[in-house]
Every structure is written in C-alpha cells, then in structure tokens.
C-alpha cells in the first residue's frame, strides 16, 4: 500500500501542474482570508465588529468555507489531472504492462488523493489556529479548539472534490473534456439537473434538492452566514442547508458511489 502511494509521489512530485495547484492552495488559503478583511474594511460592512470572521471559534467556519472554494478549484482540477494525464501520456498503459494491476493503479490514485486531503486539512488547522490566535482578543485553548470539529468535514470535503475529479477523469479520459465537465457540472449542470429532475420529473419536496452530490459537498463547510440565517429564522429557509452530520453521511455515500462507478468502468475499459 505504502509503495503505491510513494509511486504516485514519484510520478507527480516534479510535475508543474501538481506543484502549481499545491502552492496556490498553500498561498491562497491564508491570503484570501486576510484580503477579505481589507475588503470588509473598505466597504464599511454594517457589523459591530469586523473581526468576527477571524476570531475563535467563528474563524474555523469562515476558513473552512474559504478553503472549500480552493478545494473545489485546485484539488478538483488536480483530481482530474492525476487520472487524465496518465491516459494522455499513455503512461497508464506502460504502468500496467510493466506489472501493475488495474486495482493497484486505482488504489494508488485513491491513496494519493487521501494523502493530499490529509495534508491540506492539517495545513488548514495550522493556518486557522495561527490566524485565530493573532486576531482574537483573548485566546484560551478551550476557545481556540472549540470549532476544530469542522476539520473532519473539511477533510471529507477536500477528498470529495478530489475524488469527483478522479471519477470524471476515469469516465472521460481526455483532459480538456474532463475539466470542462468537472467545472460545468459543479457550477451549473447540477443546478439544472436538480431543477429538471426535482420539480419537473419527480415533483418531489424541496428538501430532496439538497441531496445532490455537489450540494452535499458544499454543505460540509457552508457559508457561515447561511447557518446563522437558518438559526434566527424559522421560515422556509429551514431546508436550504443540510445538517453537518447529514452532509457528512451523504458525502461519504456519494464518495463510495463515485469510487465504485470509476472502478467498474476502469476495470472494463481497454486502455
């Protein structure tokens, strides 16, 4: 197992796309949050304290939300690339004919996606603690770690985007096509699908609208304001966001579905 993971590392450690995506995440995760503060200062946001975003424990949720955008972009892109580059360079063929089984290749990618998720979550924890420490007025360990529980959902969120990227990569094999589908599906195809299936085809209740994969991944680390609104209003907004545990459960379910779908297709296909 560890050999398969190290093999992936050997393949991609000098790859410019891999490096760019990782470095972009490392740089942008803290800077995006910091730049948000200057924007808030600039637009004179009507709040009693603008530092609410950066203080423990809220900082966890805001950082997680900000991180989810980067995971969606950088790690989803990376997930697609990890698979399609092997198809397009035909290195996948050479891997197999040199003695790797298809299952080993598949597991190697999965482990690599898992490792990236773990490291990016650890980085998220460190950056959040540092940011929170400097921005909070009084810091105690208990307050600082109050929101740390979101890290598990953050981990699943990062893995979900990577895994969905891998899935699309296995399905389409071609880099450009797979990236196009990855981004268009997340940005608007799912929304169209939800609208068409839910309200036109099945005529189901609105709450089922939330169960679609990208919405589930989104609700793992949602925009904190959304949650606040949900707390203070009891209007129809009650169905606009999944509960954390529900999001976690559904995300794991979708991940298993994507893995099985990709594995089944990969085992069957001619390379």
Partner 1 sequence: MNVLQIEGLSKNYGKIRALNGLNLTIESGQVMGLLGPNGSGKTTTLGILLGILHADAGSYRWFEGQYPENEARKKIGAILETPNFYPYLNADDNLDIYRKIKGAPPQSFDDILRQVNLIERRKSPFSSYSLGMKQRLAVAATLIGDPDILIFDEPTNGLDPNGIAEMRQIIQDIASQGKTVLMASHILDEVEKICSHVTILQKGKLLASGPIGHILTENSFILLNSENNDRLITLLHDKKGVLNITKKDNMIMLEVDKNLSAQAVNRLAADGGIWLSYLEERKNTLEEEFIEITQPHHSFN
Q: Report the interface residues with partner 1, using CB under 8 A.
A: 3, 6-7, 10-11, 14-16, 89-91, 93-102, 104, 268, 270-271
Are 101 and 190 contacting, i.e. CB atoms less than 8 angstroms apart?
no
Nearest residue to 158 via CA among 220, 106, 201: 220
Residues in contact with 163: Cβ distance below 8 Å, sequence separation at least 6, in sequence order: 79, 110, 113, 255, 258, 259
Q: Within a 10 A sphere around the Cβ of 142, how many other Cβ atoms? A: 9
Q: How far is CA 115 from CA 4, 8, 59, 120, 162, in A?
A: 12, 11, 25, 8, 11
Nearest residue to 53 via CA among 78, 70, 28, 35: 35
């Amino acid at each position: 197992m560890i050999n398969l993971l190290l093999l992936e590392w050997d393949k991609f450690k000098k790859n410019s796309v891999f490096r760019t995506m990782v470095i972009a995440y490392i740089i942008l995760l803290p800077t995006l949050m910091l730049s948000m503060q200057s924007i808030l200062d600039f637009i004179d946001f009507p709040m009693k304290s603008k530092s609410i975003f950066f203080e423990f424990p809220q900082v966890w949720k805001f950082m997680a939300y900000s991180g989810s955008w980067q995971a969606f972009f950088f790690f989803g892109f990376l997930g697609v690339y990890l698979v399609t580059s092997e198809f397009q360079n035909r290195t996948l063929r050479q891997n197999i004919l040199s003695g790797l089984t298809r299952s080993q290749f598949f597991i190697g990618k999965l482990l690599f996606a898992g490792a990236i998720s773990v490291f990016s979550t650890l980085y998220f924890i460190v950056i959040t603690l540092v940011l929170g420490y400097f921005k909070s007025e009084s810091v105690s360990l208990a307050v600082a770690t109050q929101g740390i529980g979101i890290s598990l959902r953050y981990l699943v969120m990062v893995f979900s985007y990577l895994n969905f990227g891998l899935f699309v990569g296995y399905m389409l094999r071609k880099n450009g096509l797979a990236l196009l589908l990855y981004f268009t599906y997340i940005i608007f195809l799912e929304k169209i699908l939800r609208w068409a299936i839910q309200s036109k085809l099945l005529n189901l209740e609105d709450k089922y609208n939330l169960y679609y994969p990208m919405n589930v991944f989104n609700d793992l680390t949602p925009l904190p304001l959304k949650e606040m609104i949900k707390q203070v209003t009891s209007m129809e907004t009650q169905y606009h966001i999944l509960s954390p545990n529900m999001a976690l459960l559904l995300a794991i379910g979708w991940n298993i579905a994507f893995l099985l779908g990709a594995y089944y297709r990969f085992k069957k296909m001619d390379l």
